[in-house]
Amino acid sequence: MSNIMREHAISIFNAAVDAVQPSYLMQQHVQLHGDVLTVCGKTFLLPAGRPVWIFGAGKAAAAMAQALEPIFQYVPVQGIVITKYEHALPLQHVRVAEAGHPLPDENGVQATARMITQLKGVQPGDVVLFLLSGGASALLADYPEGAGLAQVQQVFELLLKSGADIHEMNVVRKHLSSVKGGQLALLADTDAWSSLILSDVVGDDLSIIGSGPTVPDPSTFSDAVAILDKYNLTTKLPTAIHEHLQRGCAGDIPETPKPGHAGLKHVNNFLVGSNAIALDAAAQQAVSLGYATQVLSSTATGQATSVAKELVGKAKDWKGTRPACILMGGESTVTVTGQGLGGRNQHLALAAGLLLATRPGMTILSAGTDGTDGPTDAAGAVTDQELMLSAAAQGLDAAHYFAHHDAYHFFEKAGGLIKTGPTQTNVMDIMLAIIS
């Protein structure tokens, strides 16, 4: 029974990922009839002889562009999208650049510079489609004047290990960039800009997704410094970064464009994919497999250990029809102290596994819809009592692996890793409990 429940858990997760594939979402939201383009219900007239510009950044950017290109088979198309290594797809007209994630790299800097150059060549009336998904904060790579890439990489790494959530990290990132926080959209001289956005942040705040390169930014330099202070990172900052932030707080560097900024009135930002859509598909798959199903939330946050306790607790207290499937979506965090390998989903699954060692009849899965959890080749992991007891029989000390943040190597040996490869989408994480 245990193996069947694990298979069902993975099937439910896969259904969630399938529902937010760009190949489906782009065709649903973008149509061309003659020279009239409709994007999420808003119409644009294509100027004769001028290209449609397609730009983008994120783990799903290449897949989104690939889904759009056939729509414009009789229209000239130009542009560039930046995606994570191993996420590129063959495109006919739009250039694809691969770059570093979660830490920015020189390829990202060069690709971002090429995008900036092309954006400055956009003419009034040209139609721009910008394809944004999670990962863009690293892939749209630049650095403040007086600093360098190495200093920005250092700050990104400090943030990733601090326990800061995505909202907090991206407020800091926006204030170390000349393209994030609405600044990218200021570069093109057109009144026909549409951003198509896949959300990888809790609450779907458009100003946070990918650090909001086309969205007005309500945050300030002072907010960024307060976040760094909160996590005791200010004294660890490279000198050039610290000086840049202080100059921003003093008003010596212009702030990011705020809500109501005249230069962004031409920008339409459309949310086309979200965790809630993925959860709905997961719930439908669970019902089709015969499970009584409840979706708890699409906004789960907090330390992975706490989310694991909540999910196991909900399963333990389940009073409804059995078998059952409880679903959650969102994004947990991990404050890394060990030198092991893993990601928030694997850490959450291992935390749950430790709780399941004395609880038969439950299966827990936690996995990222982008297919990559932390710096690993796994999307997440699935676990239950049988897996944990088998691991103990092999001499694997789960508590030791957990304490050293080494969930990947635990599940690699015990079984339970979920490996999908790049899914070409990204709408945060799916967490579920199956109760037999």
How confident is the model at residue 384, as a pLDDT?
Answer: 97
Domain boundaries, the chain: 2-11+276-435, 21-142+177-219+256-273
Q: Is 71 exposed, middle or buried (0-12, 13-18, 19+ CB in 10 A)?
A: middle
pLDDT of residue 161: 86
Q: What is the mean pLDDT of residues 252-275?
A: 96
Confidence bin at 1 (pLDDT 50/70/90): low
**Closest by Cα among 172, 180, 174 to 231:** 172
| Residues 6+ away with beta carbon under 8 Å from 4 | none
Shared fold status for 2-11+276-435 and 21-142+177-219+256-273: no
**170-207 residue pLDDT tens:** 999 999 999 999 999 999 999 999 999 999 998 999 99
The reported pLDDT for the residue numbered 388 is: 97
Cα distances (Å, whole numbers) of residue 176 to 41, 138, 166, 350: 35, 12, 15, 35
Mean pLDDT for the chain overall? 96
- pLDDT tens, residue by residue, 221-244: 999 999 999 999 999 999 999 999
Q: For 136-180, how does the pLDDT look when each residue is reduced to its tens digit (9 = 90+)?
A: 999 999 999 999 999 999 999 999 888 888 899 999 999 999 999
Architecture of the domain delimited by 21-142+177-219+256-273: 3-Layer(aba) Sandwich (3.40)
State the CATH class of domain 2-11+276-435.
alpha beta
Identify the band that residue 339 occupies on the pLDDT scale cut at 50, 70 and 90.
confident
Specify the pTM.
0.89
Query: Does the bond joining 238 to the residue before it have cis omega, within 30 degrees of 0?
Result: no
Residue type for 71, please? I
pLDDT band, very low/low/confident/very high, at 2 (cuts 50, 70, 90): confident
